[in-house]
Structure formats: C-alpha cells, structure tokens
Amino acid sequence: MKNVTPDFELVDDDLPPRKSFDSEPRLRRLRALAWFLDRAFALGKTRRFGVEPLIGLIPAVGDWIGGIFSLYILYEAARLGISWRVLARMALNILLEVVVGTIPIAGDIFDFIWQANMRNVQLVETHFSTSLKSRPVGGIVLPLIIAAALLLFSAFALGIALGVWLWHLLS
C-alpha cells in the first residue's frame, strides 16, 4: 500500500523553514485539517486540492461551510497566542476566499488555487513560538463571532448582488 503522508510545503521560497509541530498537538491538528481542506487529493503529479473547493460547489451555502472550517483554524491560532496582526492577515485570507468563492465557476477555480487554510497554517508555523502565552477561550469567542458574522454577511451580500446581476443580465 502506498504511503499517503500529507505534503504540506507551500511553494514559496521566501518563507522561512517550517518549525517542528511535534511539541504541540493543536498545531498538528491544524495542519491535518488544512491538508484535508486544501490538499487531500492529487491532480496529476504537481497539483493538489482538498474538500473545500468541492464543498464550495454547493450552491448558496458551500462557501459559507468552507469559511466555518477556516474560522476554526483562525480560532485555534488565536488560542495559541498568535499576534492580532497575524490573525487579521489570516482573517483577510479567509474573507478573500469566501467572497471570491461565491462567484460561480471562477470562485471555485480561485478556491482550488488560493488554498487559504494552507496559507494560514503557514502563517501559524512562521509566528508560533513555545514562549507565546495561550489565550483563554473567553477572550476569543466574541471577536470570532463578529468575524464569522462579517464573513457570512459579506458572502451572502455578494451572492445576492451576483444573483440579481445575473437575473437582470439574462432577462
């Protein structure tokens, strides 16, 4: 049986080398989730994709569902003590993927290429240190709920706007 060890390396020579995840189980879970969402399946020898672009094919709610999984990675990064600046960058990656993902066909192609979850795990790897102080859940829940609401509202508003535009275009 072929060994199916996930390949997590992003193709970006400007990024620093990956730090070891062996000491923190949450980091290993984030990596596994990002791999499942963005890189679980091979397409030829060089491209990989995960279940998130497939979930995004579900009309109206697919990109929202993918956004919720992505927000979990953001939540865990916040609990690990990653800086608010890096968390904001991660949130922008998610927002971009969800909003652009609502565009039929082009958005699905963008999801396939962008892979926000792998980018966000790379950010966590780059900025994680065992000296970071973990944050309690209480201080994270409210900002995460606000971020999720903004994410879902943005995707919903864009979806409605695109639907109205297409309706007028076709009628």
Q: pLDDT tens, 44-102?
A: 888 899 999 899 888 767 888 898 899 999 989 988 889 889 998 998 999 888 888 88
CA gap 118, 35 in Å, rounded: 7
Name every residue whose Cβ is closer than 8 Å to that of residue 112 and which is 6 or more positions away in sequence.
49, 53
CA gap 94, 116 in Å, rounded: 6
Q: Considering only CA atoms, which of 27, 28, 51, 30 is closest in space to residue 39?
A: 51
Name every residue whose Cβ is closer than 8 Å to that of residue 57 and which is 6 or more positions away in sequence.
108
pLDDT band at 23 (very low <50, low <70, confident <90, very high): low
Identify the DSSP state of 43: E
Sign (positive or negative) of CA dihedral 44, 47, 51, 56: negative
* pTM of the complete model: 0.75
Could you give the C-alpha distances from 102 to 62, 91, 145, 168, in angstroms and in order?
A: 9, 17, 21, 18
Output the pLDDT for position 114.
92
Burial of 66 (0-12, 13-18, 19+ CB in 10 A): buried
Name every residue whose Cβ is closer than 8 Å to that of residue 140 and which is 6 or more positions away in sequence.
75, 78, 79
Output the pLDDT for position 79.
87
Lowest mean pLDDT among 2-16, 59-73, 122-136: 2-16
